[in-house]
Amino acid sequence: MLNRTLLRPIERHDVAALLDVIRDARSQYGLATRVESLLEPADLAIYDTYSKRRTIYFVALVDGEVMGGAGIAPLRGGDDPLTCELQRMYLKREARGQGVGTLLLDACLDAARRFWFVRCYAETVSEMGSALKLYSRNGFIELPRAIGQTGHAHNDRWLLRELKAPQEAL
């Protein structure tokens, strides 16, 4: 699947498919019992959210089908404008373990560097073991508590990765 994967920035027509991916993944990992709704207002505004300065959301397509996505945005409520948050990284079940998540994560971290962020924060839940392994393999360290004001009280795992400056700036 990896060699047939195309990443590109979100387009308005991707929204319905991405919402299905997000809803299905949250349901598969048992979040329905921990959240008010499987889709949050920020999910519904996904296209507009990532149309702002220092944000981007990548969509992963395999043979033209939306398989998932992930985004970068400034960390809300943080006291540090140089910290971004990895957001809404979700994949269809059949795309997991196929390298698509690594491609998305790499694209997001590269974008974060281009936006001059020096740290990347991520939140998830303990049930997402494969995501936690991906983050660990890619230099994220676990934090004892949340930072910023993400509004995701249901998350119980918090991670941070230091970023190096973009190569073209060195």
pLDDT digits (tens, 9 = 90+) for 6-63: 999 999 999 999 999 999 988 888 776 666 667 888 889 999 999 999 999 999 999 9
What is the C-alpha to C-alpha distance for residues 78 and 91, in angstroms, rounded to an integer?
27
Would you call 136 helix, strand, or coil by DSSP?
Answer: helix
Contact by Cβ (8 Å): 59, 10 = yes
Domains of the chain: 2-169 (3.40.630.30)
What pLDDT shows up at residue 94? 93
Q: Which long-range contacts (CB under 8 A, 24 or more apart) does 22-27 make?
A: 22/88, 22/90, 24/92, 24/93, 25/90, 25/91, 25/92, 25/93, 26/90
160 phi/psi in degrees, rounded to 5 = -145, 145
Q: In the sheet where 119-124 sits, what is the strand order? A: 5-9, 56-62, 65-74, 83-91, 119-124, 157-162, 141-143
pLDDT digits (tens, 9 = 90+) for 114-144: 999 999 999 999 988 889 999 999 999 999 9
Query: For the chain, how big is the Rg over CA atoms in Å?
Result: 15
Contact by Cβ (8 Å): 42, 49 = yes
How many residues would you count in the chain?
A: 170
Instruction: Give the pTM.
Output: 0.90
pLDDT at 111 over 50: yes
What pLDDT shows up at residue 166? 59
What pLDDT shows up at residue 165? 63
pLDDT digits (tens, 9 = 90+) for 51-107: 999 999 999 999 999 999 999 999 988 778 999 999 999 999 999 999 999 999 999
Tokens of 104: 């998305």
Contact by Cβ (8 Å): 44, 38 = no
What is the C-alpha to C-alpha distance for residues 122 and 135, in angstroms, rounded to an integer?
9
What pLDDT shows up at residue 153? 72
